[in-house]
Structure 1
């Protein structure tokens, strides 16, 4: 029964920390947009990650592959 004198204050501190974390996350905008991160994976943004010289080389290779060859 003496353990309750320890557990109740620990539980109150735990709840206070959880409430502080919740209100901090709401105030910092963590819950503002819940839909975009789920849809962001569907967008193709790989071109931004490719260096410019690699884009030029890839474009030249695609142009060469589309020209008919003289046999």
Structure 2
């Protein structure tokens, strides 16, 4: 009896697809903000994606750019 423990093969596949859908846009966008590509892997963690969005939103102000 399975007992409902674990995600099974379908859940793991869903997580890999979801992670790719989140990481790939960050992988393409981060270099435009002067951040290395590999930092996009932080977006796999939901809080990491939120932090990256905030960093990208305020990057010009952090570097002393125009307001």
Q: Give the TM-score taking structure 1 as reference length.
A: 0.36
More helix by share: 2
Question: Which has the higher relative contact order, 1 or 2, with Cα contacts under 8 A spaced 6 or more apart?
Answer: 2
- Pick the structure with greater CA Rg: 1
